[in-house]
Structure 1
């Protein structure tokens, strides 16, 4: 490779970004020799998006082998490449290549080392729905109260979480780690790495039922986040959720302090009132005996619930709640998770990232808030995910919320949503298609001025195709 190009790229990043890894720390983490002296500002497993000064880790997947892209990563200015094979002589002879037996094991070791060296608070966030929004809220709430690190996007699984931890700067005052699962045992593996000081569980709902016998079993799986927490840690739990007692019992078994958040019960964190005005959520909450009033620049009562959990975590982590509440006024819904497109003639509510029964019902309720004279409320709904043998019924039951929220017209996409299509009253029923691409062509010709259109469906339905057709 042209080492001078890589060296120049490496020189440019120094002084611009925080150094996370060097030769000494990586040798300590991996327990092996690193031949090159280096400094790294991050970690990547993607040679296409790698930035100069990052460590490239060659992960093997079902359809790819990261080792094939190590040379490209180094050419783009990677500080180092960690590979599990160096048959290529150019790689083998390069001091910036570290050969290990298993790169996934190496990534895990880096994650454990990075977690072990920080002195700040680690906040783990999980839940059936709302964890990404809660994580983003926490990041915003704490942003000017110390050095804050948060998981990027939805990097919350067996690869994404250790990758996130491997990027964790040593001087982080607050680390916000999103933790996801769709099978029992997955959170247990993740919490061994993250070891949260504070765990936030947004809710437990009928999500991933394809892999669980009951919602109670999902609650058991969510409680795995407590497994590696130290006694005296904190569990922040939604007491309005019917499965909260399972979580409370599991938390107490681990000798954790339980902090409830609720609207209907006298918990330390309590939602007093919620009002939506012109797309802005106005919230009054009580936290540990003191009232706060604040706004969120996004609609949805579910966001209000998440916000009181966020403020509770802020208080427990030792940050200022007043500052955090003020910061929340800058919150905007994440792309695909409630992002609002105010266009010249129409409004599009982009909920295209994923879908479950509780999330679709919340989105329909939000759409219902846009009722006004001359405004049509249109729902474009794609299949919901991983609902098991009762999937057809879960889709049919949405008709009740559609009617309750006075939705004017409903378009459906996918085999499971056809069950809803057949259940809909004739006056609400519009087109049904197998794919989002087909629906995109139909819906962009259908909408009229002043329409408000909700687009929501499971990730594999690619409902963003419909959003893109509408916002062009």
Structure 2
């Protein structure tokens, strides 16, 4: 199926379609990376860490339908299928706006300091059982990720879920105006990216800017349990949105009870006075809140509530975002296992607190220890050391046996921990990997969490590859 014809893409971007034969190329998708490009895609030569124009020959050799460029790359002849524009980033944004304008899909926009990717995936799972759904890939939520997602929006999609993120002030509103959601959801507000903001209230105001892009008559879904809920509510009301809240203190979608098992949650709530019971196949109270927010959003679109609850019960987190797995250490003795909680994709104070809550409430296999391996939380500005040290005072720490720390910022937490919970500290993930064998034993439950740049995925990988037989058994705890 054709997503973009040459003439359509040229009209959308104001560019000139070149093709030595007919100029009538058709693209079935849009790509910014030759490593994942599928034959028939329109390759967009963005300039970031590398100039995408350098990869145009490779893209065309891999079967790209055409390349979106601001100049003809060296070695590319007049017969090559190109869409030539003044500025590639601006053209991608224009293509995204055109993709959104021609779509009849109902759109949900999602932002928040914690949980936006998981909530986006929940929404995609729910809506995929009620119609044709299109959603952001991975965490494509920035100045190129949002327009790319919109440019990829199929004309026959019935729903679209667009994740919107930010690192600096002024980033969300333009993306929200591109997405033009019918429903906009803010999962929560937490001290993330503080180096670019004056405080958490400033972060809340930036997140609230998603409501500026709402379609007329749209719905704003806000978390009633956070201190900044009034900021979100006021911003949404000023734009004429219908405000819908969720959480323990909510009027609309009220959380009543969360029962956590090792592998799942059972959640009891009320949806505007009607009973709402749902289950999530992953532990963690934060997933209960994300799920409730997701259900609020889809119900505001008029979706079937019973089917939505069933679909949510089949959702599971993706790798690096809270997945729990058993790592066998012995091919014969099935009791020789480590339980691994892979939450290594990213971290800020709010998400670390949620992960520690989940760890403390979970039961280790073979009555082993609860162990946290935590890496630096980045982009916290001058308050970074203070916010790292504050983790030692989080109530869940009392239920955790050892906390190992990675990175220079985590020195503050390491020093603040009580001696009986203080594990080892390493400057890098590689150094922690070298010490893992002496720190983890069969029966342990291990959480791994940190900012993406800390490369805690290497720690996760090392745990998965621990040699059969492991180390000495963990002590039992009565």
TM-score (ref. length: structure 1)? 0.93
Which digits, 9 at most, give the CA deviation of each residue in 1:40-98, with x for residues without a partner? 2210111222110100111112x41111111111111111111111153x524125122
Give, in angstroms, the shift of residue 124 of structure 1: 0.4
Give, in angstroms, the shift of residue 348 of structure 1: 0.7
Q: 2:412 matched to which residue of 1?
A: 419
Q: 2:28 matched to which residue of 1?
A: 41
Alignment partner of 1:28 is 2:21? no
**Partners of 2:117 and 2:437 in 1: how far apart?**
29
Q: 1:429 aligns with which of 417, 422, 427?
A: 422
**Partners of 1:388 and 1:31 in 2: how far apart?**
41
| 3-state DSSP of counterpart to 1:240 | coil
**Partners of 2:15 and 2:187 in 1: how far apart?**
40
| 3-state DSSP of counterpart to 1:91 | coil
| 3-state DSSP of counterpart to 1:47 | coil
Which digits, 9 at most, give the CA deviation of each residue in 1:362-386, with x for residues without a partner? 1111001124673200111111121
| 3-state DSSP of counterpart to 1:350 | strand
Q: 2:381 aligns with which of 382, 388, 391?
A: 388
> Can you give the 5+ residue segments of structure 1 that lack an aligned partner in the other structure?
1-17
Alignment partner of 1:66 is 2:52? yes
Alignment partner of 1:350 is 2:350? no
**Partners of 1:218 and 1:87 in 2: how far apart?**
41
Runs of 4+ in 1 over 6 A off after TM superposition: none
**Partners of 1:19 and 1:286 in 2: how far apart?**
44
Mapped contact 1:142–1:148 kept (Cα < 8 A):
yes
Q: 2:268 aligns with which of 284, 289, 304?
A: 284
**Partners of 1:94 and 1:142 in 2: how far apart?**
43
Alignment partner of 1:178 is 2:163? yes
| 3-state DSSP of counterpart to 1:335 | coil
Q: 1:240 aligns with which of 221, 225, 231?
A: 225
Mapped contact 2:15–2:84 kept (Cα < 8 A):
no
Which digits, 9 at most, give the CA deviation of each residue in 1:80-127, with x for residues without a partner? 111111153x52412512222211111111001001011121110000
Alignment partner of 1:149 is 2:134? yes
Mapped contact 1:300–1:362 kept (Cα < 8 A):
yes
1:246-261 to structure 2, matched below 5 A, reads 246-261=231-246
| 3-state DSSP of counterpart to 1:346 | strand
Mapped contact 2:102–2:155 kept (Cα < 8 A):
yes
Which digits, 9 at most, give the CA deviation of each residue in 1:174-209, with x for residues without a partner? 110000002110001211211111100001111111
| 3-state DSSP of counterpart to 1:56 | strand
1:244-393 to structure 2, matched below 5 A, reads 244-265=229-250, 267-344=251-328, 345-371=337-363, 374-393=367-386
Alignment partner of 1:50 is 2:50? no
Give, in angstroms, the shift of residue 171 of structure 1: 1.3
Which digits, 9 at most, give the CA deviation of each residue in 1:193-227, with x for residues without a partner? 11111100001111111111111111111111112
Give, in angstroms, the shift of residue 405 of structure 1: 4.1
> Can you give the 5+ residue segments of structure 2 that lack an aligned partner in the other structure?
329-336, 466-478
Mapped contact 1:352–1:459 kept (Cα < 8 A):
yes
Give, in angstroms, the shift of residue 402 of structure 1: 6.1
**Partners of 1:22 and 1:335 in 2: how far apart?**
36
**Partners of 2:261 and 2:412 in 1: how far apart?**
35
Mapped contact 1:352–1:455 kept (Cα < 8 A):
yes
Count how many residue pairs are aligned between Structure 1 and Structure 2: 452
Q: 2:151 matched to which residue of 1?
A: 166
Give, in angstroms, the shift of residue 239 of structure 1: 0.6
1:94-133 to structure 2, matched below 5 A, reads 94-133=79-118
**Partners of 2:323 and 2:31 in 1: how far apart?**
28
**Partners of 1:147 and 1:246 in 2: how far apart?**
34
Output the aligned Cα RMSD.
Answer: 1.5
Give, in angstroms, the shift of residue 448 of structure 1: 1.0
Q: 1:206 matched to which residue of 2?
A: 191
Mapped contact 1:286–1:292 kept (Cα < 8 A):
yes
Instruction: Pick which of 74-83 and 227-236 moved more.
Output: 227-236
**Partners of 1:404 and 1:338 in 2: how far apart?**
18
1:247/1:402 CA distance change after superposition, 3 Å: closer
Alignment partner of 1:452 is 2:417? no
| 3-state DSSP of counterpart to 1:330 | coil
Which digits, 9 at most, give the CA deviation of each residue in 1:273-293, with x for residues without a partner? 111123111111211222122
Which digits, 9 at most, give the CA deviation of each residue in 1:370-417, with x for residues without a partner? 246732001111111211212111111111226654100111011111
Mapped contact 2:224–2:246 kept (Cα < 8 A):
yes
**Partners of 1:25 and 1:146 in 2: how far apart?**
26
TM-score (ref. length: structure 2)? 0.92
